[in-house]
Structure 1
């Protein structure tokens, strides 16, 4: 027993001597801005919650399904202010349980929550003294759900942010709306208009002060849609947030201002960005609850999307739209639990990681983390090679160990073959969604880019090097297979685009060809820089065939991006194996 006490005491001394010193040294090397953002960049994964009066109609008004996203129903259905206000009379989310929401987010591996305090409909989801149009004063619920959520976040060590629509407010005479910038009138003729600054000073500023002062200290303020926002109004709102130096804000207060992070919406950028960024994404079509929206992304797609974003150095803010009763829809719960089950085993490969140094890894993605004496490379294998040989291209390093993250006893043999690292794995799929293999490297390493460039007179852009831009909803094009056998399949939605990045070592004129399979003729638009070509893909009679798309002039060396976008008016779907630029 005495020996055990000595061992534990020694360990505690070692921990107290080493870890805090390292942390303090790290913090000393960070700028004040980097220190503020440190927890956020380490988190990588958060939950977005869109909840408001719009959950009551849930996408339907007077028996008619209203096109568009649920939270925009007041605008899309042109509902008069007084009619929309009546929703508050029956809004009573008695099944709301803040603890359950936070516990589920925590299980899913999320490190922060951002929830709508006031959306564009003008209704406050907290007890506002600046406007009686709020959940405590205007509904039978009479509780403050955001106060309960703030308390639950503190209880379970969850960071918290509030979304606030600072310019759009369809309920107020001075608030903006879609078309406001173009001078279009509000759809409700009974709403007598007032100056925009009357709204900003009378409601927006007081409410922003309320949410910053009364909820225990927010970590994030998430602005949205600065339609009609002026610099004068933005300066006054910013003056309020300036009193909170640790508060993180996004780039949507006023369009010219960058904020602390940018917000790609419903798409993942093809490469990492030079500043902090966060993808916000729905699980189905709508942000708010829409009872008939069954267009759910799969758990597999969401897990891979999280890893794709982390591998590019970004954060993922995944949305849930609760019902009018205050519950998460069951399909959302199922997906959050599936993500959480994966994250319990593999979260180390997401939290606190940096962007991948590799240009493309055809079998998946890579995240990186600095560790004592070296670097951990987390190889996220989406498509396990059928020959059991996982090739890491252009990699020179002192590899000390390679093992399975979910089972550190499962080690892999490896060898270097020229400039590539070949990892030999058993002929078994460890995780059908994403197997994480850890490559431990001591000291420095070198990564040679495998970016496509001119070779033997042409630049080959295979399918698995493409970035696929799918819409937030609808049918999604997918990459299947690897290398010369890879193919873009299920390319049926005319909104899905393909983009490739490549290096041009020799400027000049190039012929662009593609290997496609098209059952029917379709239109395809090619774009590179200022060059735009409209082409037609004729039917290939159910087999892959080479189709010439046109000729382009590339006048400068360096990185270029080429994109293929369907002609939405004339798109019947296709499969694609590669794009090739042939120097003339």
Structure 2
């Protein structure tokens, strides 16, 4: 072993020397700095068309599987070393239990492909510093530290190539909890479990930038030079075509450190990177984590999300999302112009959990019929649809609108608000059954059968003629002078981690429910036709504790107290703004919980009622 380590150290110096030569010869760290719009579009085309990828978090953390010293460690499974404050030497002992004898990369890739997934991103090295391949600069890898003793990435790369799936690598460039000098995100010692030494540990981490073990201390610059940069070179040169490089948590990353890594991207011409390198480099895509942006983003983006509550395997995390939830997430993300990177966390034996397998197969059934409404589509042209989502494909002389119907209309009449194009053809995607579509005063109405073909999402297709011509339809005054902001038209802004507010139905009426997190906020756009004074009311339901909210209408702010109604199903109308004067034009109303004075609330529609018209 000593001779082997000595050889690795010598090789690390040789690799770094080559790296330095590359960096010195390349003054521009960001290889796409001078890329034209056409060049960028060409490079990003495959990724934008794909819409659906698989994330794989796999490593030594799957051995403890969320449990340390008999305690269930809180938080995500791959962070157990940090949240449990496990010493380096003790954590490394878990490698003896990492023996993925049931690993079948061909089976994994086919599972992904049959689910409709187009690309895979796997953790080549996560924050614990453990590499899933035979790294030449450390012995903290699957070949040298585990009884399995074989590279895990090479057979996956071969299987991806065989089955036409693009491969990407996740690499933790900054955080590394086992190599000296690697960065650490500071987490309180009691955040994971009731650690009896928490005061002593917290004092040490406060004095040492989050590190809890003296074995972690060292120069981050040296870590980047001797571990991170050579390893990035390894993963970008030893496994054929790599489509994506996925950086993560740029703790203590500055431009100088990022510049040690960025030139290596050129080893894979055309590679796509995310926005998490640090050092001011934007990457090619933004990465909202564990949430879907309410309205999409103004840049290429990819929502990375789990099937339960963890990325790395945890033996006791059984909070699995339903296939319905996952399919609708995929549709929601595509309708906002993003990609869905859906995670699986294999076990230490090399098996994807059966619950993940079952859900991927359910997604595959839906995609086998409806994938045309996902692949190569772009974002919805509509402001908001109360019944579901829309994706589209545009052509020189027309467009295909894919109508994803989540809530089947009781009267069988589906309205496309503001659509002015002539409909050439309308049909159900699953069985090609023709539908009647006609222009009406507020858009286009499609007549549907009495029952949906799929309760999760039945897709109807509208082929329209010419360039899309759609009036922006947002809530405005009705005949009674009221502007009704329906719950199903709200933009719900959920945080990445924490509970998610969502639509539900109580007593046959829609409301925003599960609003337990004070970071969640909601908003509606609306239009005022004539200058007028309005009062604002809403229907709320909450149990036995009052709650306070702030209401923002453009630049004006108000505060309201919501009193208990006795239950979450007993809705009562409350006034939240007594009077506000609004000019003609588009406005936005936002409701935010008041931190420290918030308790969960169910909220239905918000109504602005005209008090009097002030002028024209």
- TM-score, normalisation: structure 1: 0.88
2:607 to 562, 580, 583: 580
CA distance in 2, matches of 1:582, 1:213: 65
In the superposition, relative to structure 1, how do residues 357 and 508 fare at CA in structure 2: closer, same or farther (>3 Å)?
same
After alignment, is 149-158 or 501-510 more displaced?
501-510
- CA distance in structure 2 between the partners assigned to 1:527 and 1:77 by the alignment: 41
Residue-by-residue CA offset, 1:198-238 (whole Å, 9 max, x unaligned): 00000000000000000102100000000100110111211
Pairing 1:147-186 to 2, within 5 Å after superposition: 147-179=154-186, 184-186=208-210
Candidates 263, 271, 289, aligned match of 2:295: 271
**SS in structure 2 of the partner of residue 446 of structure 1:** coil
> Quick check: 2:286–2:300 contact (8 Å CA) kept in 1?
yes
Bigger mean CA deviation after superposition, 97-106 or 471-480: 471-480
Tell me if structure 2 keeps the 8 A contact 1:380–1:434.
yes
Q: Residue 242 of structure 1 aligns with which residue?
A: 266
Q: Which residue of the partner structure matches residue 116 of structure 1? A: 123
Distance in 2 (alpha carbons) for counterparts of 1:66 and 1:560:
46
Assess, with a 3 A threshold, how the Cα gap between structure 1 residues 371 and 405 changes in structure 2: closer, same or farther. farther
Q: CA deviation at 1:245?
A: 3.0
Q: Does 1:538 align with 2:545?
A: no
Equivalent residue for 1:499, pick from 515, 522, 529: 522
Secondary structure at the counterpart of residue 261 of structure 2: helix
Q: 1:557–1:232: structure 2 CA closer, same or farther, 3 Å change rule?
A: farther
> Offset at 1:503?
4.2
> Residues 62, 415 of structure 1: CA spacing in aligned structure 2 closer, same or farther, 3 A cutoff?
same
Question: Partner of 2:461 in structure 1?
Answer: 438
How many angstroms apart in 2 are the aligned matches of 1:252 and 1:557? 42
- Measured after TM superposition, the shift of residue 520 of structure 1 is 2.5
Q: 1:443 to 1:352 in 2, by over 3 A?
A: same
Contact preservation (8 Å) 2:51, 2:338? yes
Task: Tell me, yes or no, if the aligned pair for 1:383 and 1:481 is still in contact at 8 Å.
Answer: no
Structure 2: stretches of 5+ with no match in the other structure: 1-35, 188-204, 612-616
> 1 CA distance for matches of 2:448 and 2:331?
22
On the 8 A contact 1:295/1:474 being kept in 2, the answer is: no
Measure how far apart 1:426 and its partner are.
Answer: 1.7
State the Cα distance separating 1:423 from its structure 2 match. Answer: 1.0
What's 1:549 paired with? 576
Q: Which residue of 2 aligns with 1:8?
A: none
Q: How much has 1:406 moved relative to structure 2?
A: 0.9
* Structure 1 position 569, deviation (Å): 5.5
Decide which moves more: 181-190 or 531-540: 181-190
The separation in 2 between residues aligned to 1:210 and 1:527, in whole angstroms, is 53
Larger CA deviation: 205-214 vs 237-246: 237-246
**Shift, 1:448, TM fit:** 1.0
Deviation at 1:242, TM superposition (A): 3.0
SS of 1:445's partner is: coil
- In the TM superposition, what is the alpha-carbon distance from 1:413 to its structure 2 partner? 1.4
- Contact 2:396/2:467 (<8 A) preserved: no
Distance change >3 Å, CA 292–CA 114, structure 1 → 2: same
Q: CA RMSD of the aligned region, Å?
A: 2.7
**1:125-144 correspondence runs (5 A):** 125-144=132-151
Once the two structures are TM-superposed, the CA of residue 313 in structure 1 deviates from its matched residue by 0.6
TM-score norm. by structure 2 comes to 0.84
Query: Which string of whole-angstrom CA distances, capped at 9 and with x for unpartnered residues, describes residues 526-563 of structure 1?
Result: 35366655533112345322112346979998765544
1:362 maps to what in 2? 386
Matches within 5 A, 1:135-534: 135-179=142-186, 184-191=208-215, 193-254=217-278, 256-371=280-395, 373-408=397-432, 410-453=433-476, 459-470=483-494, 476-480=500-504, 486-488=509-511, 490-491=513-514, 493-495=516-518, 497-503=520-526, 505=528, 511-526=535-550, 528=552, 533-534=558-559
Worse overlay, 104-113 or 484-493: 484-493
Q: Which stretch has the larger CA shift, 186-195 or 127-136?
A: 186-195
Q: Shift in Å at residue 582 of structure 1?
A: 5.0
User: How many pairs align?
Assistant: 554
Q: What secondary structure, in the 3-state scheme, does the structure 2 residue paired with 1:115 have? A: strand
CA distance in 2 between counterparts of 1:203 and 1:499 reads 45
| Counterparts of 2:514 and 2:308, CA distance in 1 | 19
| Residues 523, 534 of structure 1: 8 Å contact kept | no
Structure 1 residue 189, shift from structure 2 partner: 3.8
Question: How many angstroms apart in 2 are the aligned matches of 1:489 and 1:560?
Answer: 21
The answer to whether the 8 Å contact 1:51/1:288 transfers is: yes
Per-residue CA deviation, residues 70-100 of structure 1 (Å, 9 max, x unaligned), is: 1110000100001001111221011111001
Q: Tell me, in whole angstroms, the C-alpha distance in 2 between the residues paired with 1:341 and 1:51.
A: 26
Q: Distance in 2 between matches of 1:205 and 1:146?
A: 18
Higher mean displacement: 391-400 or 450-459: 450-459
Partners in 1 of 2:289 and 2:328 — Cα distance? 17
Separation in structure 1 between the aligned mates of residue 265 and residue 402 of structure 2, nearest angstrom: 38
> Is the CA contact 1:457–1:582 (under 8 Å) kept in the aligned structure 2?
yes
> CA offset at residue 511 of structure 1?
4.6
Alignment partner, residue 56 of structure 2: 49
Cα distance in 1 for partners of 2:265, 2:52 equals: 24
- Between 221-230 and 459-468, report the one with greater CA deviation: 459-468
Instruction: Give 1:240 deviation, angstroms.
Output: 1.1
Distance 2:64 2:533 in 1: 56
- Partner Cα separation in structure 1 for residue 349 and residue 495 of structure 2: 29
- Give the Å deviation of 1:573: 3.5
Once the two structures are TM-superposed, the CA of residue 285 in structure 1 deviates from its matched residue by 0.5
Task: Note the alpha carbon deviations across 1:442-493, whole angstroms, 9 max, x for none.
Answer: 22331111223466765432101113345667765432469x9742254253
Task: Tell me the alpha carbon deviations over residues 36-77 of structure 1, each in whole angstroms, 9 at most, x when there is no partner.
Answer: 000000000000011111111111101100011111100001
Equivalents in 1 of 2:586, 2:355: separation in Å? 42
Query: Secondary structure, in 3 states, of the residue corresponding to 2:43?
Result: helix
SS at structure 2 position matched to 1:39: helix
